[in-house]
């Protein structure tokens, strides 16, 4: 049996991916920000949307360098981390506060996401990340490894479209938080913003991918990969 290939930076990229994912889902959504941009005007958005697209950048890097199977392991690690963080938040919020501690209300606002939003977030993340990784892996074969920007942006368009199409209806349809007739506009705005982040990060993605490929002596092509998302073996 051939021993599993070891890499110098794979674990670090995994840790960075999971950290960004958990922070963007746990810290960001509690705050609604509003910024007046030149030309565009006033935009209102959940603060987490600023950082969540970075997880797609890491997903692109993982698939491009290490291949779909190893990216699949990282996606599952992120799913497990997000699930545990959500469970821990629910338990900590539910614990009865000490009589002298006066910040329970603020704590509930910051970390007391409803299970509907948590479930919607996890379902959207799971589907969106796997679509992103699958599309990039297939496009790499079709382009023979050329034109990296077409893969990073194209896969993000597909993944973020799935993510936004699942999350907002599952989390908010019929809830009254966002009027149902406004949901498509919110979904489109978030989608274009997230894809825009990917475009902005493209030069950095090129640099990181090139350095990792040289350092790891790896440039994986998923020609014989089993794309079953429920397998964990690389």
Task: Give buried/exposed letters for 198-215 (b at 16+ CB in 10 A, else e).
Answer: beebbeebeebbeebeee
pLDDT of residue 30: 65
Query: Do residues 55 and 126 lie in contact, with contact meaning Cβ atoms separated by under 8 Å?
Result: no
What's the pLDDT tens digit per position in 21-73? 888 887 766 677 778 878 777 777 677 777 888 899 999 999 999 999 999 99
Residues of the chain with pLDDT under 70: 1-4, 28-30, 45
pLDDT of residue 185: 85
- Strand duo 41-46 + 32-37: pairing: antiparallel
Query: Do residues 137 and 91 lie in contact, with contact meaning Cβ atoms separated by under 8 Å?
Result: no
pLDDT of residue 114: 72
pTM for the model = 0.89
Question: If we measure between CA atoms, which residue out of 107, 118, 113, 79 comes closest to residue 229?
Answer: 79
Per the rule left: phi > 0, alpha: psi between -120 and 50, beta: everything else, 147 is left
Query: Do residues 212 and 61 lie in contact, with contact meaning Cβ atoms separated by under 8 Å?
Result: yes
Cα 233 to Cα 214: distance, rounded to the nearest angstrom:
25
Q: Which residues make Cβ contacts (< 8 Å) with residue 83, sequence separation at least 6?
A: 122
Confirm or reject CATH 3.30.420 for domain 10-95+104-216, answering yes or no. no
pLDDT of residue 3: 55
Residue 46 has, within 13 A of its CA and on its CB side, a CA count of 21
pLDDT of residue 197: 87
């Amino acid at each position: 049996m051939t021993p599993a290939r070891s890499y110098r930076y794979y674990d670090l990229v995994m840790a960075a991916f999971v950290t960004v994912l958990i922070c963007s889902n746990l810290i960001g959504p509690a705050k609604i920000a509003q910024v007046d941009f030149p030309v565009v005007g006033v935009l209102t958005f959940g603060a987490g949307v600023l950082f969540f697209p970075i997880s797609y950048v890491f997903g692109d890097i993982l698939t491009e360098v290490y291949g779909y199977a190893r990216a699949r392991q990282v996606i599952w690690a992120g799913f497990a981390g997000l699930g545990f963080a959500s469970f821990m938040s629910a338990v900590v919020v539910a614990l009865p506060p000490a009589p002298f501690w006066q910040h329970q209300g603020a704590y509930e606002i910051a970390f007391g996401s409803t299970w509907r939003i948590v479930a919607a977030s996890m379902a959207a993340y799971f589907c969106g990340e796997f679509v992103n990784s699958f599309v990039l892996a297939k496009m790499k074969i079709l382009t023979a490894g050329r034109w990296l920007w077409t893969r990073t942006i194209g896969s993000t368009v597909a993944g973020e479209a799935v993510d936004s199409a699942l999350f907002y209806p599952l989390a908010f349809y019929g809830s009254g938080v966002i009027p149902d007739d406004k949901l498509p506009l919110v979904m489109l705005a978030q989608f274009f913003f997230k894809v825009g982040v990917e475009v902005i990060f493209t030069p950095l993605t090129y640099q990181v991918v090139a350095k990792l490929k040289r350092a790891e002596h790896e440039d994986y092509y998923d020609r014989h990969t089993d794309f079953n998302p429920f397998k964990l073996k690389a």
